[in-house]
Structure 1
Amino acid sequence: MYDLEKVDQTVITIDEETLLEDIDVRYSLTIPFLDRGEGLSVGIVLMNPSKANMNISDSTVNKLIKLFYEYRVNNRQIKDLTIFNVLPIYASNTKLSIKKIRNLHLANTLDEVQKRNETKIKLKMKNKSLIVLAWGKPEVNTIPNLLYYKEVLRIVNLVSTLHKDNLYVLDIENAKSTFTEHGDPRHAGRSVTLKGLNKIKASDLFGL
């Protein structure tokens, strides 16, 4: 459930479609905060959608809502969040995700979906005040690295052009480093506690 003391659920917007009858795709989910007509607009890039839509939230989205409702940038509050994904296919775990991805590939629609995802992200990112990268890394033996990072590079190329001076990653409590051991931006899921944000440069994403 959404926290209705923070979120104006009546004006949540979602860009989604259903493919092959049973594969749901979500390109973006915009969550406005209650009674905030002014403020900064944040874009967040996660791995893939899990459950959250216009009617229900999920644990990752709830963590982000809690963080950004209180967050300030130069004393300016956040008015809304737009959540994007490296892979826009709804799945509760990465094992299910790769199954759906393969089905889209067999139907010759996967590349079309990912290009559409890139186009939609580019369009909506232009109006964001800051971009938070939080895609993490898929579990072992699920989404192959080459497939995943091919799509990650689409996102990196976009943000490097549009928001190179306003890039952030999540600051995770008790994390030993800003990025994961593989160099990925840390994800908001599982049992992590979010402390805030760390500002980064586009070159940091390549370990430079």
Structure 2
Amino acid sequence: MVEYPGYIDIRKIGINRTGLTTEENCRYSLTINIGGGEKRLICLLMNPSGATESYSDNTVNNFIGYAKNKKYGEIIILNVLPIYATNDKSAETSWKNLKDKEYHEKKNLKVIEEMINHESDKNDIVVSTGFVSGVAFKEKVKEIYKLLANLNNTCIISYKSNENFFREKYCTYHTSRKGEFDTFTKNPFKFTIDYDKSRNKLTLKSSDAKRFNFTNINIRA
């Protein structure tokens, strides 16, 4: 177990989850008060690892440190898969074994929608999903991108970015991999998302020509 930094008051941590008295061990959101500014950092990650209202994990602590340095007042952790697991392989297994997947998937999307739209002018959004095989991960990411589309926010690719990974899977690398959180903090890659509902088309737009060859990626939503 990993302790939260000493400046975090765990009594003010908000968590939306199941699993206290059931086999369905899911977490839909984790809200942590940092103190300081009015801006809010929303982090969209792969799946919950270990963080609860009592104990943190390394990835969450990394983002807490980043948020404090950037003087965010609050950090919210959301996930593509709401199931607790320690890596992509265990996430795949746990998700496949989860009962009532449709219920949890819908609830997770609803929580994401509510969080990103609440006082959206105060939000900065980090996208750092990684990828999980065998769970229709691309489809789940596309549904989330629809929610993120057309917001006046910046979506940031964390970790080392790879054009083929982004183009083929529509996903960003996860910051916890190989200890590369510094890549995110020192040289984040920025992109925006448009969604044309009438044509059911998502467009991932990037202007970072130094790191990518493409201007945008069109996805059939």
Common fold: TM-score over 0.5 = yes
* Residue matched to 2:19: 18
Sort the Cα spacing of 1:160 and 1:179 in 2 relative to 1 into closer, same or farther, 3 A. farther
- Shift of the alpha carbon at 1:19? 8.7
Q: Which residue of 2 aligns with 1:57?
A: 56
Partner of 2:209: none
Q: 2:17 and 2:29 mapped to 1: Cα distance?
A: 7
- Distance in 2, matches of 1:112 and 1:193, equals 33
Q: Is contact 1:41–1:130 with CA below 8 Å preserved after alignment?
A: yes
- Which runs of 4 or more aligned residues in structure 1 lie more than 4 Å from their structure 2 counterparts after TM superposition? none
Percent sequence identity is: 26
Give 1:103 shift. 2.0
Unmatched 5+ residue regions in structure 2? Answer: 194-202, 206-215
Contact 1:43 1:131 in 2 (8 A): yes
Normalised to the residue count of structure 2, the TM-score between the two structures is 0.76
Is residue 60 of structure 2 the alignment partner of residue 80 of structure 1? Answer: no
- Once residues 39 and 8 of structure 1 are traced to their aligned partners in structure 2, the CA distance between those partners, rounded to angstroms, is 17
2:5 maps to what in 1?
3
Q: Provide closer, same or farther for how the CA distance between residues 193 and 43 of structure 1 changes in structure 2, counting only shifts above 3 A.
A: closer
- Are 1:204 and 2:207 matched, yes or no? no
1:23 and 1:192 map into 2 onto residues whose CA distance is: 31
1:100-149 per-residue CA deviation (whole Å, 9 max, x = no partner) reads: 22222xx4x111110111011111111242211110123xxxx326x111
Separation in 2, partners of 1:112, 1:89:
12
Q: Distance in 2 between matches of 1:167 and 1:187?
A: 17
**2:32 paired residue number:** 31
Residue in 2 aligned with 1:93?
87
Q: Which has the higher contact order (CA 8 A, sep 6+)?
A: 1
8 A Cα contact 1:169 1:186, kept in partner: no
Cross-structure match for 2:147? 158
**2-side partners of 1:48 and 1:70: how far apart?**
24
Stretches of structure 1 lacking an aligned partner (at least 5 in a row): 72-76
Alignment correspondent of 2:180: 192
Q: Is the 8 A contact 1:170 1:188 kept in 2?
A: no
The superposition leaves residues 170-204 of structure 1 with CA deviations (integer Å, 9 ceiling, x where unpaired) of 454xx3xx456410223111311332544311133
How much does 1:53 deviate? 0.9
Secondary structure at the residue paired with 1:207? Answer: strand
Instruction: Specify the SS of the correspondent of 1:201.
Output: strand
Give the distance between the partners of 2:158 and 2:85, measured in 1 at CA: 25
Letter of the 2:87 partner, please give it: N
